[in-house]
Each structure stands twice: as C-alpha cells, then as structure tokens.
Chains A and B, each alone.
Chain A
Amino acid sequence: MTTLTPVLSDNWDRPDSFTLQAYRDGGGYEALRTALTMEPDTIVDLVKASGLRGRGGAGFPTGMKWGFLPKDNPNPRYLVVNADESEPGTCKDVPLMLANPHVLIEGVAISAYAIRSSQAFIYVRGEVLHVIRRLKQAVEEAREANLIGPDVLGSGFDLDVVVHAGAGAYICGEETALLDSLEGYRGQPRLKPPFPAVAGLYASPTVVNNVESIASVPSILRNGAEWFTSMGTEKSAGFGFFSLSGHVRRPGQYEAPLGITLRELLDMAGGIREGHRLKFWTPGGSSTPIFTDEHLDTPLDFESVGAAGSMLGTRALQIFDETTCVVRAVGRWIEFYAHESCGKCTPCREGNYWMVQVLDRLEHGEGTEADLEKLLDICDNLLGRSFCALGDGAASPVMSSIKYFRQEYIDHVTQGGCPFDHRKSTVWGGTA
C-alpha cells in the first residue's frame, strides 16, 4: 500500500504557513545555510544523484539540465522559475506558492548558488493576485533576513530575485516562449537548439525549472539523495503533488511518492462521487492522452504511464464520471488550444482552428463518421509537426478519445445530437 508523504505541504495546516517565521520554525533555510558551505558543483551532483525529474510536465532530469550550462560562456547566468501554471487540470503550484512561498524562495537561492547565477526570475501567471502578493512578500522577508540579496548570510554570494507577473497566455508556460515574454516580446516559442542552457534569457546561459522542481531542492539538500530515492520508483524518484479534480468525493492535493495509482488515490479521496462511476481521466493535464477505468492500476510514474500510452505530465488527474460527454469535453479542450495557439506555426494555428469546427458539428449532431477520420488526419499533421509541444498536446485528447470512445462520437452522428444531459454532470446536478 502506498501512503502519502507530505513534504512541501507539511506546514500548510498552520494558518501563518506563508510567513518566514513559520517556515523557519520547521527548519526552513537551514538547507541554504548548508548549501553555502558546499561547492556549487557538489550540489549539482547531489541533485543529479537524487534523480529529481522536472515537475512541470516533461520530466527532464533537473540536475542534468543544470549540468548543461557551458563552463566557458562569459555571459551572466540566469535562473528562471516557471510559475505560469496554466495546463488545464494543473493546480499544484498555485496552492504551493500561496501556502508556502518560502520553500520556493529557498529552492531558488540554493539552485541559483549551485548554477552560479546571481539573478533569478519567478515568472508567475498574472491571473492569481494573491499568489503574487505572497511571493513578493516572501522575497521581501527573505531579503530583509539576508537570505537573498547581496552577500547572502555572509557567504559572498549575491542573489537578486524578481517576481515577474505574466499577462495571460498559456503558451508562456513553454520555456522558450516564457523567455521571449520575459524579454518583453509576444510569447512565442523559439527554435531549439540552441536550448536555454546555451542561449536562454538575453541569449545567456539559462536554467528554466518548474516551481515544484525548485521547491523540492531544499528537502533533497537537507535529507540527502538516498532519502529522495527511497520514495518513488527507480526511474521516477521522489514525491510529487497529485491533484485530483472533478467527479471525486474529496478533490484536492495529495502529495505522494511517484508510482502511486489512481485506485489508491481515489480511495484516499473518498472515491467517485456517490452513485456514479469513473468514465475517463487525464493522468497529467489535458495535453496527456486520456485514460479510462482500464488504467486504475497503472503506476503513476513517467515510465508506466508512458508505456500505457499517455504521459505523467503534471499529475493533474481530472476525473470524469459517466454523466460526462466525451465529445463535449474534448471539444472544449480544443477550443482552448485554438485560443492559446500563438499563431507562429501553421499546423497548430490552422489545425486547431479546423478541429474546433469539426468537433462543434459533431457535438451538435451535424457531423458524419468521416469527420472522425478528418480529425485523425489533422492530428497526424499536428503531432510532431508543430513548432512546440502545444500542438502535440492538442492532438492528445482527440486521438485518445476516438481510440476509447469512437462509438460515442458515432452516437452523436446517428442520434443527430448529444445523448447526454449536461445538467447531470454539474456539482449540483449529480445527485438530483
């Protein structure tokens, strides 16, 4: 049986958890003190040894990313925290920054020291005012306590941290689009290579990491790589937030070792809402192919979810019961991708536009069976042929829903409309 392992959320039940005092009461910033006595490269090696993989969706090994910074580049190095949490279903970084911003700031300080950067940015989406307040206050408190700023704790290490608010654009969660946005441009992805490690912010060596990745660093420093690898699986080490939403009894944040299953998580969350049963779910946000009740026992680690045909992504488990129309759900996601497509590349800009039209007529019973082939054909032109992962992500819900629920699409065609009563899937309609 897998049990929960609260680490980053361990002090969230303390009403003042977001203050410096509360964080310090739990041993906060002790890891920074230790880090400053170590050689920066030793910290990079420690993070490599921990097996920590990026928590923003792609799962790239964090220590390896840090190790890619060229040693001979004379430009300043930058650390950029991706706090642009916008992937549909993903809702872990926002409560983390709201309740415990200091664990992120301590992670920023240690990580910046490890990669020899004296300038860090936290790029936070603009649509979360209170999170921005909390982050800015944490930065101020840390500065006053000499935990960031000039000559951190008398070590000679200088670190400036800027909280930068975005302005509404999902695409800025893509790391190179984020960098363009941070430079004051439209947030459009860049061609890779060069990767940000070589030419990132202001064409200088840059590390871009997700909030949860950076926030995990202090605990690794404090407890060691072996402690971290004692949780999770061999290739997916450690813990992470599993965010349950939708038709479950107790939606919320469950911090657990990677490799936990949906069956175990549903048990903890009180199961599917009363009188209903699981129909489909996303393992890691809308850009990861959907799963069904066949996948209740798939270990939620990078390898197992991949082997089962999806991606672990951000562990954003959106749960839908049998009242939910899959055509409507997918159609709405594609409207999102069409709206958020930056327009730079044709497959994504045009492909999503046309998929919205096709899905809309299918949902309203005005489509044909041939529309399914049309959708799959468009997906074939999107997947792997778009400039960035947004286009790939858009193909996921379409292809996977046709794979598992082809008949439901056809039912819309044969019945000339949607066979579902949408009121029944609402929070207030489920028991009526």
Chain B
Amino acid sequence: MSSTFTEEVRARLEVDAKDIIARYPRERSALLPLLHLVQAEEGYVSTAGIRFCAEQLGLTTAEVTAVATFYTMYKRRPTGEYHVGVCTNTLCAVMGGDEILSALKEHLGVGNDEATEDGRVSVEHVECNAACDFAPVVMVNWEFFDNQTPESAKRLVDDLRLGNDVRPTRGPERLCTWKEASRLLAGFSDGRAGEGTQAGEPSLQGLRLARERGWVAPRPGAAATEAAGDEGSAK
C-alpha cells in the first residue's frame, strides 16, 4: 500500500477538498469532513489519506492522526462493504441486542470489528444510536434497521452477502455502500433525501393518541382561559 495517492486520485480529491474547506470560516474545521472524504475513497483512513488531509490543511501527519484515531467512525483498516453495527448499550442489549450480536458473529464466523472473507460484511458492536424506541437496533452503513431479532439480522447479512436488495427501515429505498456513505458524511449529497418514510411507528405513537383523543396544544390567545381549570387543557 503506497503512502500517497496516485496523481489521478489526488487531482480528483483536491477539487472536493477545496469545496469542503470553502464551507468554513477557518480551514482546520474541514478536517473531519476531509477524513470522511478520504475514507470514501479507500473505505478506511490510510496513511495516504492522512497525508492528503495534512497537505490540504497545512498540518503535520501526526496532528491528523491524533484526530483520526479519536473518532470511532474512522476505520484504520478496511471494513466490509456493508458495515453492520449492533447496539449493545444497556437498553438495546437488554431487549436482545446481545443475542443479535452473538448470533451474527457465529453466523458469519467473524469476531468483533472483523469482515467476512469475501469482504462483503463486517460486524461491530456500537453504542446508543438514538433509536431506543425501536430497540433492538442494528445499523448498516449508518442506516436504521429497527426492531431486529437474531433471525431477521441473520437474513439481513445473508442478503447483503448475496447482493440482494436491502432496504433500511427508516432510510432510502436502497442501501448505499460504505464508501458512498462516507462521501455523504463528507458533505456531498446523493439526492436521496426524499426517499423513505418520514417517521417510524414509535415516533408517531404520541401524535396518533393525541389525534384519537382530540388532544391539542393550547390555542394561542386562549391560553389564559384554558389554564383556568378546564380539565381537557394541557396545563
């Protein structure tokens, strides 16, 4: 593995890097998106990627390495094309995340943060991904796969290995690859924001109940009167 990008790659990425740096009042703020950008190129942050970021921002490679190794989303070695994260923080673990993680490791024959031999799928346990009302939660390339079971998760990784279409629960119609995901994180849109649902069922529970029972927030102006003792008010 060369420690610098080829001329072709460098020329192409420099255009993107300029675009990223221009978003910020001070150029060092571009470091996190630049690291996502080089991860989008190679699937992980390599020595060449670190050197590229350092050159763009006038930093030393040590300064860039210090940042790259602090954040868990930057990988220092290749992951699978589809990186599967199983939440094993307390809530998801209790609800079945532990069983899902061990089922996947056994099914795929891999350890934590390892990829299958075909390079298609890697598995890692992740921390809370802000979807606790959909527990147990599995993420693939940082898209939501809600309310999983060991069986559904095994089917999911089988489909990923076979190249079958896989659709996140709350996400676009088609799952993007690890590299495509990294490019989005670098700030380049993929035009798919309009796809997929606006909200999952748990997100709508409170609203549906309010609709059913005719509960609304107080009307503006009516606040004072409603608060005066009407039982149906929100006070």
Contacts and interface: CB of A to CB of B under 8 A. Distances in A.
Contacts of B109: none
A29 interface: no
Given A13-B204, A88-B89, A126 B128 contact: no
B181 A129 contact: yes
Given A99-B198, A427-B95, A245 B218 contact: no
A1 B32 CA distance: 48
A2 B32 CA distance: 44
Nearest to B218: A230
Contact of B89 (A4, A184, A320, A332): A332
A290 B171 CA distance: 33
B204 A252 contact: yes
A360 to B, nearest CB: 14
Interface in A309-366: 316, 318, 320, 324, 328-330, 332-333, 336, 339-340, 342
B203 A2 contact: no
Contact of A16 (B149, B170, B198): B198
A253 B28 contact: no
Interface in B177-199: 181, 184-187, 189-190, 192-194, 196-199
Contacts of B224: 226, 230
A119 interface: yes
B131 interface: yes
B223 A230 contact: yes
Contact of A318 (B35, B131, B132, B149): B132
B189 A136 contact: yes
A389 to B, nearest CB: 16
A10 to B, nearest CB: 7
Interface string A390-432: 0000000000000000000000000000000011011111000
Interface string B194-235: 101111111111111111010111101101101100011111
B203 to A, nearest CB: 4
Contact of A76 (B25, B193, B218): B25
Contact of B31 (A140, A170, A184, A336): A184
B12 interface: no
A244 B133 contact: yes
A292 interface: no
A239 B215 CA distance: 14
B28 A339 contact: no
A6 B207 contact: yes
Nearest to A428: B149
B128 A86 contact: yes
A295 interface: no
Interface in A268-300: 268-269, 286
Contacts of B181: 129
B90 A169 contact: no
A18 B172 CA distance: 14
Interface stretch (A33-41, A54-62, A63-71, A157-165): A157-165
A258 to B, nearest CB: 11
Contact of A422 (B35, B98, B132): B98
Contacts of A229: 223
Interface stretch (B3-11, B71-79, B112-120, B157-165): B71-79
Interface string A168-187: 11100000000001111111
B186 to A, nearest CB: 8
A381 B66 CA distance: 28
B73 A127 contact: yes
Contacts of B132: 88-91, 243, 245-246, 251, 316, 318
Contacts of B73: 126-127, 166-168
Interface string A116-132: 00010000011111101
A330 B218 CA distance: 40
A163 B187 contact: yes
Contacts of B25: 76, 119, 202
A195 interface: no
A253 B202 contact: yes
B46 interface: no
B190 A133 contact: yes
Nearest to B208: A13
B199 A95 contact: yes
A164 B29 CA distance: 9
A251 B96 contact: no
A253 B206 contact: yes
Contacts of A5: 210, 215-218, 234
Contacts of A184: 28-32, 57, 67
A169 B203 contact: no
B61 to A, nearest CB: 15
A175 to B, nearest CB: 16
B206 A255 contact: yes
Nearest to B95: A427
B127 interface: yes
A46 interface: no
A17 interface: yes
A197 B202 CA distance: 37
Interface string A89-130: 111011100110000000000000000000100000111111
A126 B73 CA distance: 8
Given A162-B23, A252-B202, 18 more contacts: A3-B233, A6-B215, A98-B199, A130-B171, A130-B193, A164-B33, A165-B187, A167-B36, A226-B224, A245-B91, A246-B91, A252-B201, A255-B206, A328-B93, A332-B89, A332-B93, A333-B89, A336-B128
